[in-house]
Amino acid sequence: MKILVIGRGGREHAILWSLKRSDKVKKLYCAPGNAGTAQIAENVDIGEFEFDKLVQFSLDNAIDLVVVGPDDPLAAGIVDVFEAAKVPVYGPRKNAAEIEGSKIFMKNLLKKYSIPTAKYETFTDYEAALAYLREQPVPIVIKADGLAAGKGVTVCFTREQAEDALRETMVSKSFGAAGDKVVIEEFLEGQEMSILAFVDGETVRPMSAAQDHKPVFDGDKGPNTGGMGTYSPLPHIPQSIIEESIETIIKPTAKAMVAEGRPFRGVLFAGLMITKDGPKTIEFNARFGDPETQVVLPRLQTELVDIFLASINGRLGEIEISWSDEAAVCVILASGGYPGSYGKGFPIKGLDDVGDVLVFHAGTAEKDGEIVTSGGRVLGVVGRGTGIAEARAKAYEAANRIQFEGKQNRTDIAAKALVQA
C-alpha cells in the first residue's frame, strides 16, 4: 500500500511511525511533513489547505489511503473533497468535524442528548457576555467558539482575569474569528483525562486512556499550550471511571452524531474531567490528539493500517484491537517564549544520543544538512517502560541530552501518576 499522511507535526510523525510497522505498507508520503517525517516517509511540498493539489497528487501517485492529521483542514471539509474524487480517506466529513470546529455546536449537542458536561452559556455580543460574566462565580472558563490551535481556552481564577480573557477573545481578537462567539462555562474541579476512540457511526473502539499537561509551566502554571507532555496508561484512575466515561459520554455522543445526520468516522477525542459527580465532558476533538498520539500509538499492538481500512469499509466492529501493558511518557521540548513569540532556526544537538527512546518531530526543519527548530513545540521525547516511573526516567534522560537555544520543557510530566498511584 501507498499511504499519504497530511500534516506537519508530532502527531503525524507518530502516525507514520505506527503505519511503517506494517508489512502491508510499501510507501509513505507526508504533506508537508517535517525533518523527522522525512526520515521515514517522502515529504511532499504541498500545504494542508491545498486540497486540489493534494487530491491530484494522490491520483497521480495511485495513493491507496489518505490520513488527515490536523483539525483545521478537517473542519474545512478536506475529507469531503477526497471522497468526491473517490480517493480512500480516513477522517470525519466536514459536518461531523464540527464537533471540534464549533464549541457551541458541541455544547448544544451534549445538552440536547443529556451527555454530562459543564453548565454554560454562549454569546455573540460582548456586552451581553460581560454582563453575564459579572454575575458568575469564579473560577470560570472562557472559550473561543472556533479552532485556536489548542489555545482558545482560558481558565480564570479571578474576576479581573475573566474580564481580561473575554475582552482579549471578543474585542482584541487574540484568536481571530474563532473568538467571534464564546462559551462561558462553569469551572470543573477534578482530574483531567483524555480518551481517544476509533469511531465509525455508532461503533466505538476506545484507545488506551492518556493524560495531557496543557499549561506551559510546572505545576500547571502559565498559559495553555497545545500540550507540554502526556502519559499512558493512567494507573491512578480506576478502570471503572474509564468505562463509565466511555459508556456515558463517548458512545452516546457517537450515537447522537448519527441521529443528527452527521455520522462520525475517524478518531473522536474526548477531553474529560473526573469530578466528584463523575466524568464530565470538557471538549471533543475530531482527530488524533497531539501529544496524546505520541504515547497511545506506541502502545498499540494491532496494525494501525488494519484499523483504518476496517473503519473505511464499515468493519470497525469486527477487528480486534489490543494494547501493550507497557507505559509511555512524552516530554515536549518547546522553543523559548512558546506559547508566545519565539525564535526559529536554532540547530538541534543530541538527536543521535537517545538510545531506544522515541523522538517525534513537530517544529523541525532541515537547513544546510542539519536539523533546526521551526515551531513552538519542537520535539516529543517518548520513553517506554514496564511502568510510568521507568518510562518517565527514560524520557527525561533523553530529553536532557537534546539541546537547542532557548529549549524549555516541563519537569513534572506524569509526576502526579507517581504521587497518586
CATH of the domain at 308: 3.30.470.20
Q: Residues 239, 350: one domain?
A: no
At 419 the pLDDT is 75
Alpha-carbon distance values, 2 to 171, 207, 226, 307 (Å): 47, 25, 30, 16
Output the pTM of the full model. 0.94
Q: Which domain holds residue 147?
A: 119-186
State the Cα–Cα distance between residues 173 and 161, nearest whole angstrom: 16
Q: How many CB atoms lie within 10 A of CB 22?
A: 14
**Residue 101 belongs to a domain:** no
CATH of the domain at 153: 3.30.1490.20
CATH of the domain at 19: 3.40.50.20
3-state secondary structure of 90: strand
Closest Cα partner for 262 from 286, 289, 290?
286
- Show pLDDT as tens, one digit a residue, over the chain (421 residues): 999 999 999 999 999 999 999 999 999 999 999 999 999 999 999 999 999 999 999 999 999 999 999 999 999 999 999 999 999 999 999 999 999 999 999 999 999 999 999 999 999 999 999 999 999 999 999 999 988 776 788 899 999 999 999 999 999 998 999 889 999 999 999 989 999 999 999 999 999 999 999 999 999 999 889 999 999 999 999 999 999 999 999 999 999 999 999 999 999 999 999 999 999 999 999 999 999 999 999 999 999 999 999 999 999 999 999 999 999 999 999 999 999 999 999 999 999 999 999 999 999 999 999 999 999 999 999 999 999 999 999 999 999 999 999 999 999 999 989 876 5
**Residue 113 belongs to a domain:** no
**Final residue of a structural domain among 162, 186, 210:** 186
